[in-house]
Amino acid sequence: KNQVEQSPQSLIILEGKNCTLQCNYTVSPFSNLRWYKQDTGRGPVSLTIMTFSENTKSNGRYTATLDADTKQSSLHITASQLSDSASYICVVSDRGSTLGRLYFGRGTQLTVWP
Amino acid sequence: EADIYQTPRYLVIGTGKKITLECSQTMGHDKMYWYQQDPGMELHLIHYSYGVNSTEKGDLSSESTVSRIRTEHFPLTLESARPSHTSQYLCASSDRGEESNQPQHFGDGTRLSIL
């Protein structure tokens, strides 16, 4: 069964600290992995997209890594800010159909305290 | 910022009413999607479209219907709302091309409550 599991479910850190969010997936065949940020009451916003051949991609203070062999990804946030408080969603796409079926994780709820 | 808009943002309405949730995008994207999201849960695809006059049902069974008469407009309709339809509905769009390179741009959603 194709699944995307994220950990931790929630995380609280102090402003200025770094953190790492995890994503494990069983989706096959694999096409790409995406990280989205969803602020409360807003729609998700794309942070990074990585294909099979990419093992790291950065977007400002966000750095995503991908290990396609172990089917794991992480999102590292450097020097956290209050505005980083949001849900971070891992999404994996397969190559099994024209649509490129997307499998969504339930997200990690990050809270940054001052 | 993506140019995709959903209205209304919030809707509280009684059982049995007909509801239309609006979604419009100004990016000229061919592909559009509707997702349903409950608190703390993953997004579920309920409808998608590859272009004008193209609509398909997604993975999650839904009593809603959609139409795609214009590229920029992808409304979702519930003919007779029920409390089980209470949820957040998110609309998204993406450009044509390799799926691996195309992020989906999301609207801010409609939070629907059926009394």
pLDDT in tens, A22-56: 999 998 888 899 999 999 989 999 999 998 889 99
pLDDT at A96 exceeding the cut of 70: no
Q: Along chain B (115 residues), what's the average pLDDT of each consecutive run of 10 residues?
A: 87 95 94 93 92 90 91 95 94 76 88 95
Interface test with A, best of B5, B42, B55 (most A CBs within 10 A): B42
Task: Say what the pLDDT of residue B101 is.
Answer: 66
A106: contact with B, CB 8 A cutoff: yes
Whole-angstrom Cα distance, residue A114 to residue A94?
39
Of A51, A101, A105, the CB nearest to B100: A51
Nearest-CA residue of chain B relative to A41?
Answer: B108
One-letter-per-residue 3-state SS of B4-22: EEEECCEEEECCCCCEEEE
DSSP, collapsed to helix, strand or coil, labels residue A72 as strand
Residue A38 Cα, gap to closest chain B Cα (Å): 10
Nearest-CA residue of chain B relative to A102?
Answer: B45
Q: Kindly write down the DSSP assignment for every residue of A3-51, as one continuous string.
A: -EEEE-SEEEEETT--EEEEEEE--SSEEEEEEEEE-TTS--EEEEEEE
Asked whether the beta carbons of B23 and B108 are under 8 A apart, the reply is no
Encoding tokens for residue B25?
Answer: 């995008």
Closest CA to B49 of B62, B60, B65: B65
Asked whether the beta carbons of A56 and A67 are under 8 A apart, the reply is no
Task: Say what the pLDDT of residue A2 is.
Answer: 74
pLDDT at A99 exceeding the cut of 70: no
